[in-house]
Amino acid sequence: MIMGRAGILLLAVLGLAGCAATIPGNVYDSAGEPRALGVHVQVNFPEEGWKRGHGDDKNILVEFTRRNEASVEMLMLQVNAFDENEARFMLPVANAEPQEARYVMWKRTIDSRPHTKLVFVADTVVPSGRPAAMIELVSLPSGSKDDVYLRMKMLYVYEKGRMVVLTCTAGSVMEKKAGVDVLMENMMTPVCQPYFDSLRFVDITP
């Protein structure tokens, strides 16, 4: 079960594209959004020059994208149903599996996806005090002439039967892999980390 759930979360990201720059103070609020599955959260999002939309996947609440000639960047917010027994294999929740076992599960889950590799995983806690995990992954060459290279940092936060996932992505054609790696590093301080830190839980409906 856990393998399938994590795979679904990952595939939702791999099928998308788009964003860039710094994050002003606009706020996205999930109140009234049926895709939020009863979770009421807020995040700060970019303004000028960014395209806001909903992804095709039913679990994507909102995405913010921006493109230039060489690359594409994205911020995305997802909510998925996820029971506590499954969460203990991935996150430092109550009665969680040992850290090493959880890291092995992350690697096995991510690396089992086609053309995907886990780069980094670490336990963390978001400002609200909720247990979370931060992962980083990259796409690998598939041999297709249309190969795209993506580098993603993803924050997974568990709360009462829900998995909230914030994603920060940089991408381009495979030939520009080195440039995408640099772009992601340059995005961390002005874009990715402020986005992750802006997550606020207002309440949750059972």
128-166 pLDDT tens trace: 899 999 999 999 999 888 899 999 999 999 988 999 999
3-state secondary structure the chain: CHHHHHHHHHHHHHCCCCCCCCCCCEEEECCCCHHHCCEEEEEEECCCCCEEECCCCCCEEEEEEEECCCCEEEEEEEEEECCHHHHCCCCCCCCCCCHHHHHHHHHHHHHCCCCEEEEEEEEEECCCCCEEEEEEEEECCCCCCCCEEEEEEEEEEEECCEEEEEEEEEEEEHHHHHHHHHHHHHHHHHHHHHHHHCCEEEEECC
The pTM score is 0.86
Mean pLDDT of 99-109: 95
Q: Residue 205 has what pLDDT?
A: 54
Contacting residues for 89 by C-beta, under 8 A, at least 6 apart: 2, 96, 97, 101, 102, 105
29-47 pLDDT tens trace: 999 999 999 999 999 987 7
Nearest to 200 by CA among 161, 154, 166: 166
Average pLDDT, whole number, for the chain? 86
Which tokens hold the place of 191?
A: 């874009």
Q: Residue 204 has what pLDDT?
A: 59
CATH T-level fold of 2-204? Protein Transport Mog1p; Chain A (3.40.1000)
Kindly state the percentage of the chain with pLDDT values over 70: 85
Q: Residue 13 has what pLDDT?
A: 43
Q: Residue 8 has what pLDDT?
A: 39
Q: Residue 96 has what pLDDT?
A: 95
